[in-house]
Amino acid sequence: MTINSGVLRVASGGCFAVILAYCSYVAMHRGLASLYAYPGKSSLALWQDGKRHLRQQDWKMVRTSMAKALSYDRHNPDLLHDLGAVYDAEVAYYTPGDDAAGKNRDMARHYYLGTLAGRPTWPHDWIDLALVKYRLDQVDAEFYQALHRAVALGPWEPSVKFVVADIGMHHWHKLDNDMRALVTGIIRDAVSYRDTATDMLKLVRHYDMLGVVCNGDVADESVRQYCKQHYRTGNILPPP
């Protein structure tokens, strides 16, 4: 039995119409999402650049703008990340572990996890999750996973190295041996490159942990001289 060619044309035309309608629907919703997100994104960018001070009502406007945008494009990782960043930024001046910032930081964590569900291979998204876990003072399996994934996916990224080193040294006494080894490796890698050595050494000195760099073999001559000048035996936590 053969199918009439006219029937096939009608069927294929119907399928094309359905696909076209769906694509139009998606494009319209993404366009609306971009439109609603614009005021919030603009205000957040100005705040991040230090060009605008946001008051409580301003933060509410930014959240509303981003939430409205997300309602039109619920799985957009950029929108999910931006809304998480808004909740995180609003309480940026609270110290890590401050209960007053806990609700906002929990919301930021929620949206960062949504972002990672859509793009799990972006190291900076993992870093943002690690940072909000650090600010929540939650050193747990999720915190460890975020740091490990960030390093695995972006070991060449200076921002990844410095955040991992900073968070790791801050929580050094809470880290397991594997995590200490990872942080130590990141620090030693950073001080072996001219572009990052000076800033990493300053960060390590801030935590009074030069032993992480200076205990053991140091390949770079300038770093060896730095260790000789600044390292004080017995006053610095040794690497694992």
Q: List pLDDT tens digits, range 44-69.
A: 777 777 777 778 888 888 888 888 87
The sign of the CA dihedral 201, 199, 140, 151 is negative
Helix/strand/coil for 60: helix
Residue 101 has pLDDT above 80, yes or no: yes
> pLDDT for 208-236, tens place per residue?
888 888 876 666 677 777 777 777 654 44
179-193 burial code (b ≥16 CB/10 A, e <16): bbebbbbbbbbbbee
Q: What is the mean pLDDT of the chain?
A: 81
Angle (deg, nearest 10), helices 158-170 and 141-153: 150
Tokens of 228: 């000789």
Residue 151 has pLDDT above 90, yes or no: yes
Using alpha carbons, select from 176, 227, 229 the residue that is nearest to residue 204: 227
- At 32, is the pLDDT very low, low, confident or very high (cuts 50, 70, 90)? low
Task: Give the pLDDT score at 210.
Answer: 86
Tokens of 144: 């460890």
- Separation CA 44–CA 46 (nearest Å): 5
Task: Give the pLDDT score at 233.
Answer: 54
Using alpha carbons, select from 71, 90, 73, 81 the residue that is nearest to residue 26: 73
List C-alpha distances in Å: 153 to 146, 157, 191, 194, 221: 11, 9, 20, 22, 30
- Separation CA 117–CA 76 (nearest Å): 10
> pLDDT for 35-50, tens place per residue?
556 676 777 777 777 7
Helix/strand/coil for 171: coil
| Domains of the chain as residue ranges with CATH | 32-47+55-137 (1.25.40.10), 155-240 (no CATH)
Beta-carbon neighbour count of residue 131 at 10 Å?
20
Q: Look-up: residue for tokens 């609270």?
A: 94
Tokens of 72: 């039109």
The sign of the CA dihedral 145, 237, 227, 230 is positive
CA 215 to chain centroid: 31
List C-alpha distances in Å: 223 to 162, 188, 217: 17, 10, 11
Task: Give the pLDDT score at 148.
Answer: 93
